């Protein structure tokens, strides 16, 4: 009986130990399997190949600008000295150096005014030389400038054009004061007597200085025959040889003057043949 129990206890120990051994063996195997699986997964993740990206080259866009041609521009003024009211005429020609032919474009005649170039006249060049004209009011610098499609802009050097006072300028100034009341002893700019009017106009328009007295004014300027008088000439009426009234010749037997008290500056008929003519501007 005791032997049976002893054998039974021994068998149970072997079973427990065997189970533990088996469980331990299984645990080790599982752990090893997990480690092996993890290592394999890690290895797989590490060695996974990435599919190459295909880069499509973009064609470069190249813009080739067409080089502009610099034409040859020449210009010549008919005269560098003109009378006020007359036109300055400039002849210009533009040549394309590649073809030797006239360059097509726009030619401008400009004057320098207050530091800026102002266009006086414009013409198109297409088959030959072009002539531009304008009437500058004062002495100034002028130039020609060319612009055209496919061409660089070019200009000539500036040239001084001298504008001289003329009879037309004298008359233009006289007309500005039409309607001004007569006032004895006054020489403008709003009231005038006869010699005060002529004194003011010649000074303003031509820079000529005259005394404020008709009799003294007849001693100024160049003596001109009545038959050769021109617009802008000074007319001095006389009593014998004494000058008592002055006016500015306006053409066709008329003059601009400030007649007498109660009258106004205006264009009036020359009423007497006893007068002399004096030319103060060319």
**Whether residue 177 is found in the same domain as residue 109:** no
Question: Tell me, what CATH number does 275's domain have?
Answer: 3.90.1720.10
Which pTM does this prediction carry?
0.68
What is the number of domains present in the chain?
Answer: 2
Query: Is residue 109 reached through a cis peptide bond, with omega within 30 degrees of 0 on the bond before it?
Result: no
Q: What is the separation of C-alpha 238 from the centre of its chain, rounded to a whole number of angstroms?
A: 55
pLDDT value, residue 41: 42
**Whether residue 117 is found in the same domain as residue 215:** no
Polymer length in residues for the chain? 282
Give the tokens for residue 44. Answer: 């797989």
**Weakly modelled stretches of the chain, pLDDT under 50:** 1-8, 11, 13-56
**Whether residue 158 is found in the same domain as residue 76:** yes
Within a domain: residue 150?
Answer: yes
List residues bridging with 73 in a β-sheet: 94
Among 123, 144, 164, the domain boundary falls at: 164
pLDDT value, residue 83: 94
Distance CA 28, CA 34 (A): 10
**Whether residue 142 is found in the same domain as residue 233:** no
pLDDT value, residue 261: 96
**Whether residue 259 is found in the same domain as residue 273:** yes
Give the tokens for residue 250. Answer: 């306006």
**Whether residue 250 is found in the same domain as residue 214:** yes
Three-class DSSP category at 183: coil
**Whether residue 198 is found in the same domain as residue 258:** yes
Among 114, 133, 164, the domain boundary falls at: 164
Within a domain: residue 48?
Answer: no
**Whether residue 158 is found in the same domain as residue 187:** no
Name the one residue in this structure whose structure tokens are 């533990």: 20
**Whether residue 238 is found in the same domain as residue 261:** yes
Distance CA 230, CA 281 (A): 10
Give the tokens for residue 162. Answer: 């001298």
Distance CA 249, CA 269 (A): 10
Picking from 256, 246, 265, the residue whose alpha carbon sits closest to that of residue 170 is 256
The boundaries of the domain holding residue 210 are 167-279
Confirm if 279 and 230 have CB atoms less than 8 A apart.
yes
pLDDT value, residue 57: 53
Among 123, 146, 164, the domain boundary falls at: 164
* Virtual torsion, Cα 152, 76, 164, 191, nearest 10 deg: -30
**Whether residue 200 is found in the same domain as residue 101:** no
Within a domain: residue 49?
Answer: no
Within a domain: residue 5?
Answer: no
**Whether residue 172 is found in the same domain as residue 258:** yes
**Whether residue 134 is found in the same domain as residue 175:** no
Within a domain: residue 135?
Answer: yes
């Amino acid at each position: 009986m005791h032997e049976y129990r002893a054998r039974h206890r021994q068998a149970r120990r072997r079973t427990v130990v065997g189970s533990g051994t088996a469980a331990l063996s299984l645990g080790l195997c599982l752990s090893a399997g997990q480690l092996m699986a993890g290592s394999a997964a890690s290895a797989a993740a590490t060695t996974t190949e990435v599919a190459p990206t295909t880069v499509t080259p973009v064609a470069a866009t190249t813009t080739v600008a067409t080089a502009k041609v610099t034409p040859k521009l020449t210009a010549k003024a008919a005269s560098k000295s003109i009378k006020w009211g007359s036109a300055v005429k400039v002849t210009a020609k533009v040549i394309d150096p590649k073809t030797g032919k006239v360059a097509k474009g726009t030619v401008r005649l400009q004057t320098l005014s207050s530091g800026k170039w102002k266009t006086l006249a414009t013409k198109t060049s297409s088959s030959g030389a072009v002539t531009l004209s304008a009437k500058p009011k004062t002495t100034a610098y002028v130039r020609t400038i060319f612009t055209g499609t496919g061409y660089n802009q070019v200009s000539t050097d500036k040239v001084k054009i001298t504008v001289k006072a003329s009879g037309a300028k004298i008359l233009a100034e006289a007309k500005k004061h039409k309607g001004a009341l007569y006032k004895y002893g006054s020489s403008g700019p709003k009231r005038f007597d006869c010699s005060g009017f002529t004194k003011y106009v010649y000074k303003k328009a031509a820079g000529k200085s005259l005394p404020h007295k008709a009799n003294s004014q007849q001693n100024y300027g160049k003596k001109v025959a009545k038959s050769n008088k021109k617009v802008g000439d000074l007319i001095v009426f006389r009593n014998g040889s004494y000058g008592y009234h002055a006016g500015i010749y306006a053409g066709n037997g008329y003059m601009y003057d400030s007649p007498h008290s109660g009258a106004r500056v205006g264009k009036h008929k020359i009423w007497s043949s006893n007068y002399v003519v004096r030319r103060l501007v060319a």
